[in-house]
């Protein structure tokens, strides 16, 4: 069995497996830290910066992403302070101004407390969260898509913008995309989709329940505070 460590998140002492990230520990426990770029079971890249928390060391707090921070014995984490809420709201505002029509991004923005968007809306096709790139299994571990270019030219593409022979059409990229368009010529989505409200990792499969198949089978990351956690 994996050795356990105890971390303190927002005042609650949580026992969790060594080697897991603070975000995973929090989600497992039922503390919902908003996040976008994280894909379960895959090492996080820390790109969306929504899952920021305050990591308190010797009375000093440092703002860092919880998805890249590994749990350590006795760690103290604050995920819902005034400062964090404000920063998170500003980051979510940037995201939603870029993709106002995505239900998934809208959901996240609402959860982060965005009430108004102070920037002109842009309808980007992609917010470069990188979920598709992270998950793409490609062939023999060689990805079919990746980030190309840099700065404002950064985009998700196959080499030379031609569908790569490495793509095995598994559809994982479309499944995880919070937007309406995917980088390959895969099935286009209508824009009405949104992510599972539990795991925020996959598309919800039924409007009424609002959760994805994995969560329905009890395999996902239950994010709601349920009595057995306390």
Partner 1 sequence: MPPPTLDSILEERRSQPHQLIEVLQDVQEHYGYIAEESMRTISNELGVPLMEVYKVASFYKAFALKPRGKNVITICTGTACHVRGAKLILNQAVGQLGVKPSEVSDDGLFTIEHVNCLGACALGPVVTDNGNYHNHMSPGKLRKLIKSIYKTDAEEISHD
Partner 2 sequence: MTKINTVKDLKALRKRLLKERKKIRATLVLCGGTGCQASRCQDVTDAVKNELAKQGLKRSVCVRTTGCHGFCEQGPLMVIEPGNIFYCHILPDDAHEIVTKTILDGEVVERLLYTDPVSGKLIQTESEIPFYRAQDRYLLAQNRQVDPCSIEDYIAIGGYSAFTKALFEIPPESVVREIKDSGLRGRGGGGFPTGRKWAECQKAPGDEKYVICNADEGDPGAYMDRCLLEGNPHLVLEGMMIGAWAIGAQQGYVYVRNEYPLAVKHARMAVDQARKIGLLSDKILGSSFSFDIDIARGGGSFVCGESTALMASLEGKVGEPRPKDVHTVVDGLWHKPTTLNNVETWANVPSIILNGSSWFASKGSKGSKGTKILALTGHIKNTGLVEVAMDTTINTVVFDIGGGGSNGNSIKAVQTGGPSGGCLPADKFDLPVDFDVLAKAGSMVGSGGMVVMDQETCMVDVAKYFLTFLQDESCGKCVPCRMGIDRMLEIITDITEGNGTSWQIGLLEELGSTVSQTALCGLGKTAANPVLSTLRYFRDEYEAHIHAKKCPAGVCQALVTYKVDAEKCTCCGICKRGCPHGAIVGKKKQVHAINLDLCQKCGICKSECDFEAIQVK
| Torsion sign, CA atoms 144, 149, 150, 153 | negative
Q: Please, which contacts does 140-145 make with residues 24 or more away whose CB atoms are closer than 8 Å?
A: 142/166, 144/168, 144/184, 145/173, 145/183, 145/184
Q: Binding partner 2 by CB under 8 A: which of 40, 46, 100, 137? A: 46
139 is a contact residue toward partner 2 (CB under 8 A): no
52 interacts with, out of partner 1, partner 2, none, CB within 5 to 8 A per kind: partner 2
Binder among 16, 31, 79, 97 for partner 2 (CB under 8 A): 97
- Please check whether residue 92 is in contact with residue 34, taking contact to mean a CB–CB distance below 8 angstroms: yes
CB of 126 to partner 2, least distance (A): 12
How many residues are there in the chain?
Answer: 230
Please give, one letter per residue, the 3-state secondary structure of 193-204: CCECCCCCCCEC
Give the per-residue contact string, 111-140, with partner 1 (x = CB under 8 A; - = no): ------------------------------
CB of 129 to partner 2, least distance (A): 8
Of residues 147, 163, 166, 214, which one binds partner 2 by CB under 8 A? Answer: 147
C-alpha–C-alpha distance, residues 134 and 44, integer Å = 9
Q: According to the binding rule CB under 8 A, does residue 158 interact with partner 1?
A: yes
Among 57, 118, 140, 162, binds partner 2 (CB under 8 A): 118
CA–CA gap between residue 227 and residue 230 (Å, rounded): 6
CB-side neighbour CA atoms (13 Å) of 205: 7
Q: Which helix (H) or strand (E) holds 148?
A: strand 146-148
Piece of 21-29, 118-126, 143-151, 173-181 that binds partner 1 (CB under 8 A): 143-151
Tokens of 190: 């209508």
Q: Which of 76, 78, 128, 213 binds partner 2 (CB under 8 A)?
A: 128
Contacts to partner 2 by CB under 8 A:
45-50, 52, 63-65, 68-70, 86-87, 90-91, 94-95, 97-98, 118-120, 127-128, 147, 149-154
């Amino acid at each position: 069995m994996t050795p356990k460590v105890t971390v303190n998140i927002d005042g609650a002492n949580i026992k969790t497996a060594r080697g897991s990230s603070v975000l995973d520990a929090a989600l497992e426990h039922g503390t919902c830290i908003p996040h976008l770029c994280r894909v379960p079971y895959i090492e996080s890249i820390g790109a969306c910066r929504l899952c920021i928390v305050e990591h308190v060391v010797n009375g000093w707090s440092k703002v860092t992403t919880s998805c890249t921070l590994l749990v350590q014995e006795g760690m103290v984490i604050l995920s819902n302070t005034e400062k964090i809420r404000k920063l998170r709201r500003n980051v979510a505002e940037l995201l939603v101004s870029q993709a106002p029509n995505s239900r998934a991004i809208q959901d996240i923005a609402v959860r982060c407390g965005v009430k108004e968007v102070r920037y002109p809306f842009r309808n980007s096709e992609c917010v470069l969260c990188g979920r598709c790139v992270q998950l793409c299994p490609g062939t023999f571990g060689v990805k079919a898509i990746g980030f190309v270019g840099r700065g404002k030219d950064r985009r998700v593409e196959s080499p030379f913008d031609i569908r790569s022979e490495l793509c095995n059409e598994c559809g994982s990229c479309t499944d995880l995309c919070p937007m309406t368009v995917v980088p390959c010529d895969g099935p286009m989505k209508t824009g009405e989709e949104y992510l599972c409200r539990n795991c925020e990792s996959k598309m919800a499969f039924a409007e009424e329940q609002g959760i994805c198949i994995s969560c329905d089978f009890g395999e996902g990351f239950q994010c709601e505070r349920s009595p057995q956690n306390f």
